[in-house]
Structure 1
Amino acid sequence: MKKKIMLLGNHGFVIYNFRKELIKKLLDDGHEVYVSLPYDEKVEIMKSWGCKFIETNVDRRGTNPVTDSKLVKHYIEILRSVKPDVVLTYTIKPNLYGGLACRILKIPYISNITGLGSGFNGNPILRNVLTQLYKAGLKKANCVFFQNTEDMKELTSRGIIRGDYKLIPGSGVNLDEFKFHPLPEGDTVNFLFIGRIMKDKGIEEYLKAAEKIKKEHKNVKFNVVGFIESTHSHYKEWIDDLNDRGVITYHGYQKDVKPFIVDSHCLIQPSHGGEGLSNVLLEAGAMGRILIASDIAGCRETITGKNGYTFKKKSFESLVKALDKFINKDNDEKIEMGLLSRQHIELNFNRNIVVKKYLKEINTND
């Protein structure tokens, strides 16, 4: 049975990067696919595939209740207009407010918890507000997909999820797009941070660790790829200073991170929490890179102990110990770790697994 399927997201780049295989499969199967999110350059690509686009401006980090209530109203309007057979929601606000709109209109919807966000780890008042919003937005979901077990336990133990729910391997990774590459040759060990430059992503721990390690090891290089969030502009002076002194190399925002992963030995993810399942760890692991990450849900799942290390979150001293441990490995051991990284991702995080689970849920709503 052919259906109208609508995807709600907060960023065209994210939907394009992590849902394109699902979208293309739905289009190939003859379904009518709508995407509703803020406009960016990726929207035109999705339209060229055959998607229909409805612009929805989502303030990803805003907490203004008036703005958020307008978002609910907007979702109700577009859902009434399109009358989709099923809606797929991604990220926090589309999950909460898109889910609530679907609930009000009694439209089947499937939500994906791509991370609870830093608000769930914050003050108790905000946590309680978010709990009530999640109850409202997810209560009538046909299925809720979780990307890690801790988020799943958090929401189910609070009675937020009343219907069906399942664990999936994050967004998965396209193994053909992120191919295996041998580690770089030479004596220099290249470390890489990819992410938004903000406190919750652990940039402070990374920069402090880089300063300490550079004093003790000559043949190391620390790379930073990502844009500085407008709310964290104070990091610019620090990053510029470290870059000028040769402690780090700052590359700014990059559309394609693959060349930077190829040039690295190890990907570092020092996040403080709120991850669903880290896509950058999946991508780097698929390309055969060693993984060092905070010991938190959404990161530890990609690390076996044989393909990298976890360290205590918010502790640059713990990160330094992990970096030292890797630097002191001989070359053959590093090569073996890279091979095991690819193997682990191949076996457990192929994006085709995620696509198949979505198709199964969509087809159960016939």
Structure 2
Amino acid sequence: MSSSLLILSNSDSGLYDFRKEVLKALLEKGFRVLVSVPDTGYVDKIKALGCEYIPTAFERRGMNPFQDMKLMLFYRRLIKRHRPLAVLTYTIKPNIYGGLAARLTGTPYLVNVTGLGTTLENGGILQKMIILMYRTALKAAACVFFQNKGNRDFLVRKKCVTGKVRVIPGSGVNLDEHRPEEYPPGDGQIRFVSIMRLMKDKGVEELMTAAQAVHEKHPETLFQILGAYEEETRHIYEPRVKELEEKGILCYYGYRDDVPVFLKECQAVIHPSYHEGMSNVLLEAAATARPVLASAIEGCLDTFSEGCSGLAFQPQDSSSLTEAVERFLALSYEERKEMGRQGRKYVEEKFDRNFVVAAYLEEIAGIRSGRFGPS
């Protein structure tokens, strides 16, 4: 029996940042771990863990039938060449095309639905196409992992999943790596941090509108954004970001790999996303003992206790976001600090990444012993 596992994902940074503990656990169990992801700068870190890297290139966003078929055939060749014990897939395209390739070759596979994505959330003809592809790709999966119950219920209702499913606590959070930090002093500037790709569905428009409204009443506030622009909409958001920077309302730092430094120095994290699988941003903020202000959607609401460790606001609603920030600013220093402490306690109880590692090891043990397949 093969001792290799093939990992398919669309992001080397996401795989390393949020799933390296799973990779380490598989390596410690003696598996040969093969990783197929595009290289955007994190591959050396993945290789340093002990994984073998397979160069992979594909378009993360958009649907090009020719390119997507090439990807599926590429995955099929990989599976036939390496004959892994199982294939582990993450994110939409690897889930669909990796799932199809595994099914065609009769290879057991585990799928992780990290979120539904914009296309499935928005409906229309593209949604129908994705649903049809998911029905075909997920049909023979040994297990489909979901990061929240809403995503599970949606795909089960659409008959995309008919076999074994498990809801896991997102990617979890490494509680040793993300330690609680002393809350910043109560005097001086109040910093709110948002960690996001600068695109509409991440709530960047609502964030900028709310930042301007809040800063006019509370000039001691500063809104910080970490993350890269989506190139197709950069021309829309970059001028507005620069305008707010010039007014001292906002600071934009681009993509950063020193996020913990910003979490340590901020008073709260704001996450105005329209949809999430499970927000790693909010989990890491709470683990650092920082209050969170987030959209009232599944994948965000799961990560905090309303009024205890965070505050919710309506998605796609800058007025609701502004109101949430105002409510936070009305809290005393000790109340804000206590919110952070409660956030740490919440993720310790519910989102330890070891829970996710254990779920993967259990399913792979089942495959190894011959207990797999739709049930």
TM bin, normalised by shorter chain, reads: over 0.9
Q: Is the 8 A contact 2:2 2:85 kept in 1?
A: no
Residue 332 (structure 2) aligns with: 330
Residue 124 (structure 2) aligns with: 124
Distance, in Å, in 2 between the alignment partners of 1:356 and 1:320 is 40
Residue 230 (structure 1) aligns with: 231
Residue 292 (structure 2) aligns with: 291
Look up the SS of the partner of 2:111 in the other structure.
strand
Distance, in Å, in 2 between the alignment partners of 1:55 and 1:136 is 26
Deviations 1:186-228 (A, max 9, x none): 3232111111000110000000000000111122111111111
For residue 183 of structure 1, what is the amino acid of its counterpart? Y
Deviation at 1:41, TM superposition (A): 2.5
Deviations 1:225-270 (A, max 9, x none): 1111101112111101110111111111111211011111111110
Distance, in Å, in 1 between the alignment partners of 2:53 and 2:224 is 37
Look up the SS of the partner of 2:42 in the other structure.
helix
Distance, in Å, in 2 between the alignment partners of 1:362 and 1:300 is 30
Distance, in Å, in 1 between the alignment partners of 2:19 and 2:2 is 19
Q: Paired residue for 1:353, among 334, 352, 355? A: 355
Distance, in Å, in 2 between the alignment partners of 1:77 and 1:116 is 27
Distance, in Å, in 1 between the alignment partners of 2:248 and 2:199 is 21
Look up the SS of the partner of 1:161 in the other structure.
coil
Distance, in Å, in 1 between the alignment partners of 2:297 and 2:65 is 30
Deviations 1:304-359 (A, max 9, x none): 11111111110000001110000000111111101000000110000000000000
Look up the SS of the partner of 2:320 in the other structure.
helix
How do residues 234-249 of structure 1 correspond to structure 2 at under 5 angstroms? 234-249=236-251
Deviation at 1:2, TM superposition (A): 7.0
Distance, in Å, in 2 between the alignment partners of 1:294 and 1:271 is 6
Distance, in Å, in 2 between the alignment partners of 1:110 and 1:34 is 15
Deviations 1:128-175 (A, max 9, x none): 111101111111100000000100000011111111000000000000
Distance, in Å, in 2 between the alignment partners of 1:52 and 1:362 is 19
Distance, in Å, in 2 between the alignment partners of 1:287 and 1:342 is 7
Residue 209 (structure 1) aligns with: 210
Q: Is the 8 A contact 1:2 1:30 kept in 2?
A: no
Residue 159 (structure 2) aligns with: 159
Q: Is the 8 A contact 2:282 2:303 kept in 1?
A: yes
1:67 aligned onto 2:53: no
Look up the SS of the partner of 2:193 in the other structure.
strand
Distance, in Å, in 1 between the alignment partners of 2:271 and 2:119 is 19
Give the unaligned 5+ runs of structure 1: none
Distance, in Å, in 1 between the alignment partners of 2:26 and 2:141 is 20
Q: Is the 8 A contact 1:2 1:32 kept in 2?
A: no
Residue 311 (structure 1) aligns with: 313
Residue 85 (structure 2) aligns with: 85
Residues matched between the structures, number? 365
Q: Is the 8 A contact 1:267 1:290 kept in 2?
A: yes
Distance, in Å, in 1 between the alignment partners of 2:184 and 2:199 is 29
Q: TM-score if structure 1 supplies the norm length?
A: 0.98
Distance, in Å, in 1 between the alignment partners of 2:78 and 2:332 is 58
For residue 353 of structure 1, what is the amino acid of its counterpart? F
Deviation at 1:123, TM superposition (A): 3.6
Deviations 1:46-69 (A, max 9, x none): 222321111111211121111111
Residue 221 (structure 2) aligns with: 220
Q: Is the 8 A contact 1:72 1:98 kept in 2?
A: yes
Give the CA RMSD over aligned residues. 1.1
Give the unaligned 5+ runs of structure 2: 369-375
Q: Percent identical across equivalent pairs?
A: 40
Distance, in Å, in 1 between the alignment partners of 2:355 and 2:168 is 8
Residue 198 (structure 2) aligns with: 197
Distance, in Å, in 2 between the alignment partners of 1:46 and 1:129 is 33
Residue 37 (structure 1) aligns with: 37
